[in-house]
Amino acid sequence: MSSRIEFCKMDFLKEKLRSLDTDLILIVADLNVWSLYSKTLSLLNIDGKNVLLWKAPDGEKVKDFENLSSALDFFLSRNVHRKAHVVSLGGGATSDFSGMVAALMLRGVKWSTIPTTLLSMVDAAIGGKVAINSPQGKNLIGAFHHPENIWVCDSFLETLDQKEISSGAGEIVKYALLSRDIYAKIIPDVEVKSLIKDCVQFKEEVVTEDFKETGRRKILNFGHTFGHAIEKEYHLPHGISVVWGILLMDILFNDGKYKADIFKIIENLNIDLGESPWLNKEFPVENIMLYLRKDKKTTSSELIDLVVLKEIGNVEILSVSFSEIENKISDKKEDIKKLCSI
């Protein structure tokens, strides 16, 4: 199962929507993106289509049951039918959410997505993982529902601030460690735009091979188990949290062997990583372990699947017990602290 991925100019988006095989288009748009681009895009008046619009609060805030219920009510009360097509316009949170709306409405209608952040272009929009958050953690409530089309217009990046670009580039650090080809392209001051296509193709290939994440797809979680815990604990951007997750995994499972390589990638991608969130504090082992135990990758009450780097471009999945992780964190306490002070 795979999506049609097209790189196109913003001007062509209206035509893309016009060519969808439906008479009813349901747009779920990030509030901010909509206010910046609605005039340019002019998506509400499309020949032969009834277009409905639901505006999403920006960022992760949208991903809860209240908004899900509200968006579904909005559309269902306007006589939605099975051939309706949901179109997401926004970043990863918007597409995670829109995909849930599409997955659950009438037991599933088709959807397409227009990612507007670097993070969503290289990661969130691809692969059909859709979700909302629960008080217990990110993306714990969700489904697999592949978008029909992913339309990538990199000119949306022009209105992104450096923090968001850095967060997106954080996911590119992951790809660089999973794929030697992508790694090889990351020379000093490479333009991140030029890497989008490579990351998209890499992810799409992995996902097509293993849609339901029973095997190889798991490698895409590299850095994400600790990343999600760090994101939750410190409210850092997703991609930045993933980079910290990758650095932690390197300390715990590779004795910091790839630290220099990872920092080189971070530097070349111009990522503003900032200081480690636990600088001058104790690493919050207890909270982090609590989040880990609630992670989706747990496979029993005592085990979790972790992605470990074997060499650049090659990882393996290890089933590790929580007690082993706790011991490792305790053993590497000083290295973790030192990581903090870079």
Window 228 to 287, contacts with a copy of itself (CB under 8 A): none
Which helix (DSSP H) or strand (DSSP E) does residue 143 occupy? strand 137-144
* Residue placing its CB nearer to a copy of itself in the complex, 5 or 68: 68
Shortest Å, Cβ 56 to a copy of itself: 17
For residue 41, what are its two tokens? Answer: 């895009």
Is 24 a binder of a copy of itself (CB under 8 A)?
yes
- Neighbour tally for 189: CB within 10 Å: 9
The residue with tokens 């009360």 is 77
Residue 341: phi, psi to the nearest 5? -100, 15
Q: Which of 229, 269 has the CB closer to a copy of itself?
A: 229
123-162 positions binding a copy of itself, by CB under 8 A: 129, 131, 134-137, 139-144
Is residue 48 near a copy of itself by the rule CB under 8 A? no
Q: Read off the DSSP letter of residue 120.
A: I
CA dihedral 239, 209, 16, 107 (to 10 degrees): -90
Q: Which is nearer to a copy of itself, 192 or 307 (CB)?
A: 307
CB of 9 to a copy of itself, least distance (A): 31
Select the span of 99-107, 202-210, 246-254, 333-341 touching a copy of itself (CB under 8 A). Answer: 99-107
One residue of 82, 193, 281, 310 binding a copy of itself per CB under 8 A: 82
Tell me which of 107, 158, 189, 286 binds a copy of itself, using CB under 8 A: 107
Gap between the Cα atoms of 334 and 110, Å rounded: 50
The angle, 0 to 180 degrees and rounded to 10, between the axes of the packed helices 238-254 and 333-340 is 140
Least separation in angstroms between residue 30's CB and a copy of itself is: 22
Q: Which strand (E) or helix (H) includes residue 251? A: helix 238-254
**Stretch of 80-88, 114-122, 232-240, 274-282 contacting a copy of itself, by CB under 8 A:** 80-88
94: tokens are: 């918007």
Sign of CA dihedral 250, 254, 258, 260: positive
Least Å distance, CB 342 to a copy of itself, is 33
Alpha carbons 306 and 335: distance in angstroms, whole number: 20
Tokens of 224: 């994400």
Site string for a copy of itself, 276-315 (x = CB under 8 A): -----------------xx-xxxxxx--------------
Q: Are 291 and 233 in contact (CB under 8 A)?
A: yes
Of 32-40, 65-73, 234-242, 331-339, the segment contacting a copy of itself by CB under 8 A is 65-73
Strand, coil or helix: what is 30?
strand
Tokens of 111: 């959807």
The residue to which tokens 């959410």 are assigned? 97
Name the minimum Å distance from CB 222 to a copy of itself: 18
For residue 40, the tally of other CB atoms under 10 A from its CB is: 12
Binding segment for a copy of itself among 35-43, 77-85, 150-158, 181-189 (CB under 8 A)? 77-85
* Binding status of residue 331 toward a copy of itself by CB under 8 A: no
Q: Least distance to a copy of itself from the beta carbon of 273, Å? A: 30
Q: Which residues bind a copy of itself (CB under 8 A)?
A: 23-24, 50, 65, 68-69, 72-73, 76-77, 79, 81-83, 103-108, 129, 131, 134-137, 139-144, 293-294, 296-301
